[in-house]
Chain A
Amino acid sequence: MVIDMHVHPIFYEGICGDPEELEFRKNTFGVWKQSPMTDEELFTVMDVGGIDRTALLALDLTTTAGGWVVTNEEVAGLRAAHPDRFYAFGSVDPHRPDALDAARHALCELKLDGLKLNTAKQKFMPCDPAAEPIYELCEKENKPIIFHAGMSWEPDTPSRYCHPLAFEDIFIRHPQLRCCLAHFAWPWVREMAMLLIKYPNVYTDTSVLYLDSPEESISRLFTQDMGPMWFERGFRNQVMFGSNNPRFRAFKIKRALDAVPMRGDARENLYSGNALRFLKGGD
């Protein structure tokens, strides 16, 4: 099985009915010149990459941008329509007055699979007290959090909010909370590796296509930014396949990963085992 843990369903036709909303979504996320994709197109592209399931990410920017890139209800609806193909991660803006209620609604009523937070886009430091009740809730409900980490292509995203070291206190305070710092926190890959070997509840993903071709980027990540055996020896249970679609086509990231030499069980962890553990917890 292959699970893509990082997809923004911005152009999924099922949630593109409102042109104004789509325009807000494109301008706020910073992605253009793509058209809504039908289910047939989505699943054909997934199938070409051998990708069985994807995690769809919402983003609540109520207080910083006046809206959502994708709402919790939208990802819940997409998952409900295709429960065999999608996981759904909700979001909550920690600055909104009803943040804890909104998080509880997402996790306990919509029963979303976890939360996606973007500290740069949502303008809060990871250890901001306003976010603490959300972390406590996720830990109590056994729901993981995916944080954006490292460079962001989205407009108005100061990098100081998403340096990987800014998250460390969360891992100390919440040892049972599973957190993914996405994008290998690029360009801070060494710092990310340090956090992975120090905290077993910390994960990352492979959506690191910031420069070059997929093959060049992924090869550099696994052989130069890291030692060639770091993943297998140091944190084979903590790296997940993620594409960051629609910025990058998922099957091309997968194709590049296929070319990285690694043992079969490590590859199985990378493609699905680690994602399943991240989603549900346990061994």
Chain B
Amino acid sequence: MMVVLKEISRMSKKVEEYINITDEVRSIVAQSGVKDGVVFVITAHTTTGIMVNEALPCVESDISDVLEKLVPLNAPYAHAHFLPSYGATGNNSQGHLKSMFAGNHCVFPVSGGALLAGSAQEIYLVEFDGPQLRKVFVEIMGE
């Protein structure tokens, strides 16, 4: 079995941003040499998410609106305090919690050397505490 690990690096430009990384993931899979197997797309952060959905602005805004209702900016979060191990304040609970709803990874089959997905499925790195430089692991396992 082959295991190939690559990274995607993206600089988010907004506090919350839906970054479509489908083409980069497809490209990494195609270059991996793995013909049949699975690909895992995993964020390296706790205030981002990996989501699969249809790449339409209206869908993005609906998702964003629902997450905002579930996790409002200024709720009295316990995490809003100084963190001695950082020497800085937390104050990004909203990002942590939205990240939990979004999930930290997605999985797709690899078949014939290509990522196999439904026609509406796109892969997003979702920023919830930007702008920041972000990293996503792409691991392909198979033969």
Contact = CB atoms under 8 A, between A and B. Distances in A.
Genuine A/B complex: yes
Interface of A: 29-35, 37-38, 40-41, 44-45, 48, 153, 209-216, 246-249, 251-252
Interface in B32-77: 74, 77
Contacts of B85: 32-33
Contacts of A247: 87-89
A44 B13 contact: yes
B1 interface: no
Contacts of B5: none
Given A211-B81, A213-B77, A31 B86 contact: yes
B101 interface: no
Contacts of B132: 41
B91 A213 contact: yes
B87 A30 contact: yes
16 contacts: A31-B86, A32-B85, A32-B86, A35-B133, A40-B11, A41-B132, A44-B13, A48-B15, A211-B81, A212-B80, A212-B81, A215-B74, A216-B80, A247-B87, A249-B91, A252-B91
Nearest to A259: B74
Interface string B1-25: 0000000000101110000000000
B18 to A, nearest CB: 16
B82 interface: yes
A32 B86 CA distance: 5
Contacts of A214: 91
A213 B131 contact: no
B74 A153 contact: no
A193 B82 CA distance: 25
B88 to A, nearest CB: 5
B92 to A, nearest CB: 8
Nearest to A10: B87
A33 B86 contact: yes
Contacts of B89: 209, 247-248
A211 B88 contact: no
B88 A31 contact: yes
Nearest to A213: B80
Contacts of A210: 82
Contacts of B11: 40-41, 44
A28 B41 CA distance: 38
B46 to A, nearest CB: 12
Given A29-B87, A248-B89, A41 B81 contact: no
Given A29-B87, A48-B130, 11 more contacts: A30-B87, A37-B133, A41-B132, A41-B133, A44-B13, A44-B131, A48-B14, A212-B80, A214-B91, A246-B88, A247-B87
A40 B13 CA distance: 10
Contacts of A211: 81-82
Max count, chain A CB within 10 A of own CB: residue among B15, B80, B87: B87
Contacts of B15: 48, 251
A249 B132 CA distance: 11
B131 A45 contact: yes
Nearest to B12: A44
A35 B9 CA distance: 14
Contacts of A38: 133
A245 B53 CA distance: 36
Contacts of B77: 213
Contacts of B91: 209, 213-214, 248-249, 252
A215 B80 CA distance: 10
Nearest to B130: A48
Contacts of B80: 212-213, 216
A214 B92 CA distance: 10
B87 A32 contact: yes
Nearest to B81: A211
B12 to A, nearest CB: 8
Contacts of A33: 85-86
